[in-house]
Amino acid sequence: MQMLYPKLRQADILVLATPVYIPLPGEMQNLINRLCPIFEPILRWRDNRTRAKLHDDVNIRKIVLVSTSGWWEMGNFGTLVHIVEELAKDLDVEFAAVLRPHAYLMEEDSKKTREVNNALKRAGEELVKKGRIPKKLLNVISQPLVSEEEYRLSWNAAYEKLKRKEKN
């Protein structure tokens, strides 16, 4: 972590990339906890909440969450988005989220997965060049690849098949 603090001070955008693990992996929570030294502990009252701010020598102006989830719906990101958005609010910086649900299907090569991958590349370029990602690109990245029912039925069928194979 000591190696990261100088980089964190220089960066203008902090990208936190993590899968959803009910709600996040312990390693990512540890990293978030260890961001404390870049906060200046002067309490402020903002948006009806106690908030802090970054030390003056920290340049971060935006926090971007990049995440994947296993299940179909966007609701799986709810807790994680809340955690990282609150962090951004505490530090008085902008927040954005790049979210890819039912990410297992991204292993398949299809018109839609290619569209998502292209949008992801463009989102990275826009973030670096302009400091923001257009909403249109975020929607392409998060688009459903199949219907919820299709996903659930094929997932359950694959699991049942595996279970039968293990029994024999």
Ligand X SMILES: Cc1cc2nc3c(=O)[nH]c(=O)nc-3n(C[C@H](O)[C@H](O)[C@H](O)COP(=O)(O)O)c2cc1C
Which residues make up the interface to ligand X (CB under 6 A)? 19-22, 68-71, 76, 103
- CA-nearest of 161, 135, 145, 162 to 71 is 145
Residue nearest to ligand X as judged by C-beta position: 70
Residue 12 contacts by C-beta under 8 Å, 6 or more apart in sequence?
Answer: 59, 60, 61, 62, 131
**What is the C-alpha to C-alpha distance for residues 50 and 56, in angstroms, rounded to an integer?**
19
Nearer to ligand X, 70 or 131 (CB): 70
Could you give the angle at the alpha carbon of 28 between the alpha carbons of 23 and 30, nearest 5°?
115
- Cβ at position 40, least distance to ligand X in Å: 34
Nearer to ligand X, 25 or 131 (CB): 25
- Cβ at position 43, least distance to ligand X in Å: 33
Tokens 């949008």 sit on residue: 119
**What is the C-alpha to C-alpha distance for residues 81 and 66, in angstroms, rounded to an integer?**
10
Nearer to ligand X, 108 or 125 (CB): 108
- Cβ at position 77, least distance to ligand X in Å: 8
Nearer to ligand X, 76 or 93 (CB): 76
Helices (H), the chain: 4-10, 26-33, 78-90, 111-130, 135-142, 148-167
Nearer to ligand X, 88 or 105 (CB): 105
**What is the C-alpha to C-alpha distance for residues 93 and 53, in angstroms, rounded to an integer?**
9
- Cβ at position 74, least distance to ligand X in Å: 10
- Cβ at position 22, least distance to ligand X in Å: 4
